[in-house]
Amino acid sequence: MSHIFVTGGAGYIGSHTVVELLNADFDVTIFDNLCNSSRVVLERIQKITGKTPDFVEGDIRDSAALAAAFARKPVDAVIHFAGLKAVGESIEQPLEYYDNNVSGSIVLCETMQAAGIRKIIFSSSATVYGESASVPYKEDMPLGRASNPYGASKAMIERMLSDLCDSDGRWSVAALRYFNPVGAHKSGLIGEDPKGVPNNLMPFISRVAVGKLPELAIFGQDYDTPDGTCLRDYLHVSDLADGHRRALPALEKPGFQVYNLGTGRGYSVIEMVQAFERVAGRPVPHRFAPRRDGDLPAVWANADKAKTELGWSADTSLETMMEDTWRWQSANPDGYPQF
């Protein structure tokens, strides 16, 4: 396998994965409509790796644009990150989310099929386990009802890919269920740059620390957890990127496979705030607020399958996750420059 086509490769996880692939000497094409990312990412990837990935600006719902990009040079596998990911926004704009994520994935697979490309890694999420699963989550657990359109879109795409594999034995699919990616590349050149007010904990904490937001609201302090705040399985985005490279050989085997990508342990919101304060050497003003709708008390992975079958584990320490987040945020207080 040498040429990897990365949808959404200019985004947070995609850009780190592209760095990982270029460093491992893969040829990479990024296909991204830049709806949630910046062209500056391409220069930053070049700075880090000394290599320039091919870039095609396009939308995965545009079959002609995809087909033209596939025709440029033979593609060995697709890594599919492109999609919308804000849970709250998905509740307000469900059609937009189903269109981008589900219809986009259908158009992508149809166009791949027409081009004779049948290997794909898909960005799924721990959210597909639903509300009633018990921790640690394991790949063979039945999936529950998603509590929002974003989660439902991920479950639908997994189902669609699994049905595709059942219908045609030439397809190879690896659905990677991410837990909570945080951190940034150690260079401080690429990182998470959400538009507007962040929904996720880590970018919120780092924007408070850099003085762009006044304080963090901690959603709920009365959960049945050791300190009353929710537990999540936070993993370094560069470990997650490495997981994609290690999943590529699994595509040599046809069929549908699922892997959890997490560390296997949970940290509370309070532990995250305190760890960040220690590393950044400054306080993160915070207050307790009511629970956020749909939040589960505790989510973490059983990541044994990825370790056994892919030889992957997420070993970066919490301290390094915080250091790297802070390096990125303090060097880029306004995110990527806008032109």
Tokens of 203: 């970018």
Q: Could you tell me how many residues of this chain bind ligand UDP (CB under 6 A)?
A: 15
The residue from 29, 33, 263, 329 that contacts ligand NAD (CB under 6 A) is: 33
In the residue annotation, 150 being an active-site residue is answered as yes
Side-chain half-sphere of 39: how many Cα atoms within 13 Å? 6
Cβ closest to ligand UDP, residue 269 vs residue 314: 269
The residue from 20, 27, 32, 233 that contacts ligand NAD (CB under 6 A) is: 32
As to burial, measured by CB atoms within 10 angstroms (0-12 exposed, 13-18 middle, 19+ buried), residue 171 is buried
Tokens of 232: 């999540």
Instruction: Report which of 80, 252, 91, 109 is spatially closest to residue 176, judged by C-alpha positions.
Output: 80
Task: Output the smallest distance, CB 283 to ligand UDP, in A.
Answer: 16
Q: Are 80 and 7 in contact (CB under 8 A)?
A: yes
Annotated active-site residue in 12, 97, 150, 267: 150
In the numeric block, the tokens 């091919």 are attached to: 54
- Judged by CB under 6 A, the chain residues 288 through 317 that form the site for ligand NAD are none
Considering the rule CB under 6 A, would residue 301 count as an interface residue with ligand UDP? no
Considering the rule CB under 6 A, would residue 85 count as an interface residue with ligand UDP? no
Q: Using DSSP, state whether 329 is helix, strand or coil.
A: helix
Q: Mask of contacts with ligand UDP, 162-201, x by CB under 6 A?
A: ------------------x------------------xxx
Cα 162 to its chain centre, rounded Å, is 20
What length does the chain have? 339
Dihedral, 89, 95, 96, 97 alpha carbons, nearest 10: 60
- Rounded to whole angstroms, what are the CA distances from 285 to 193, 203, 206, 282? 21, 14, 11, 9
Considering the rule CB under 6 A, would residue 151 count as an interface residue with ligand NAD? no
The span of 178-186, 272-280, 288-296, 304-312 binding ligand NAD (CB under 6 A) equals 178-186
Q: Residue numbers of the site for ligand NAD (CB under 6 A)?
A: 7-8, 10-14, 32-37, 59-61, 81-85, 100, 104, 123, 125, 178, 180-181
Q: Residue numbers of the site for ligand UDP (CB under 6 A)?
A: 180, 199-201, 204, 216-219, 230, 232, 269, 292, 295, 299
Active site residues: 150
